[in-house]
Amino acid sequence: MPFSQIIGQPKALSLLRRVLTGGRMAHGYLFTGPEGVGKNTIARALAAKLLCQQKGAGQPCGYCPGCKKFIASNHPDFLQIKPDGAGIKINQIRELKKALSFPPFEQGMRIVLIDDAQTMGREAGNSLLKILEEPPPNNLLLLIVSDAEPMLNTIISRCQVIPFAPLTEEQAAQVIQQTHPQLSIEEVRTMAKLTGGCPGRTDALHSSEVLRLYKECLYALLNATPCSAVAVEQSLVLAKQLAELKDDLNLFFDLLSLFFKERQLSILSGKEPQENHTLAAREHWNLQQLSAMVNAVELARSDITKNCSRALVCEILLLELFCG
């Protein structure tokens, strides 16, 4: 993906554009910021541009041998290092040093992308530091970190640091819509809010058990007859599953609270909602009921922090939602 198609991160892109158009390129760059904000995407876009053989083009041409190899993930001068298990091992850095002792295969530049560089132990970090202190010619190291705190200060000082910030909610929604076209408008908006400006987290969130339970709960709430025997039974079955979410329970609370608050806003604004769930909720609950539901969710959240029984808290919450 060329720079021109990347959404967000204007400061990082501006700095890299200046470097590409005549500025002096450092031997190492440290891309730092939360997971899922585009660090890897921009690093790969930079690599694609540098490996493109049409040097006069403003962006990778996509057709030259260099571009074709990069797109096919078999360019000999693009190396990627990822954690082996819990972290990047010393042997991986030793292998890298060996590779860098030879010139690039295609007489241009070699790009090394190190993902989650903060997972390097001290031994691996010191080995990488030696590479940065005496960088072999025609090699560029791109270090990707979600947290620079564990990094050796000497490594940071040898790199040009490029900070990345969370995207705006609107930008995150645009990215999610591009990368997940199968999602509905409502799901895209929900993901944009829940990922906190880090749209790269969408896959993990969308495939999680908590989202499945949220959708199941929402469907049941919108279709159940309040206080009926079926509603009570559904609430107890869902409560049992919710209690097993453990750390994800707060995310479930976030989803429910967000849903009810957006329905309140829809009623207050008088705007016709685009999403079917929103329309159904407007017809199903009034402002007073929605306010009571938000309060019930926040009370459950508070009770969990007080070490109350998770099973009991979930039962009370869902009985309140289904029968309150």
Residues 279-302 pLDDT 10s: 455 467 888 989 999 999 999 988
Four-CA torsion 290, 224, 215, 180, nearest 10 degrees: -90
Is 277's pLDDT higher than 60?
no
DSSP-derived secondary structure letter, 26? P
**Superfamily of chain region 3-163:** P-loop containing nucleotide triphosphate hydrolases (3.40.50.300)
Q: Say which DSSP state 116 is in.
A: T
- The answer to whether 70 and 78 are in contact (CB under 8 A) is yes
Domain 208-323 has CATH 1.10.10: no
Distance CA 1, CA 158 (A): 28
> Going by C-beta distance under 8 Å and a sequence separation of 6 or more, which residues neighbour residue 144?
31, 39, 40, 43, 113, 114, 115, 116, 117
Distance CA 125, CA 251 (A): 35
pLDDT, tens only, 15-61: 999 888 876 889 999 999 999 999 999 999 999 999 999 877 678 98
Q: Of how many residues is the chain composed?
A: 324
**Domain spans of the chain, in order of start:** 3-163, 208-323
What percentage of the chain's residues is helix, strand, coil (to nearest 5)?
A: 60, 10, 35
No. of helices (H) and no. of strands (E), the chain: 15, 5
> What is the pLDDT averaged over residues 289-316?
90
Mean pLDDT, rounded, of the chain: 88
Contact 100, 131 (CB under 8 A): yes
Q: Report the candidate in 235, 292, 236 with the shortest Cα–Cα distance to residue 263.
A: 292
Tokens of 109: 């530049």
The residue with tokens 């903060």 is 118
Phi, psi of 28 (to 5 degrees): -145, 140
Domains 3-163 and 208-323 equal at CATH topology level: no
3-class SS of residue 238: helix
Q: How many Cβ atoms are within 10 Å of 312's Cβ, its own excluded?
A: 12
pLDDT for residue 285: 80
Q: 191-214: per-residue pLDDT in tens?
A: 888 888 899 988 877 767 888 888
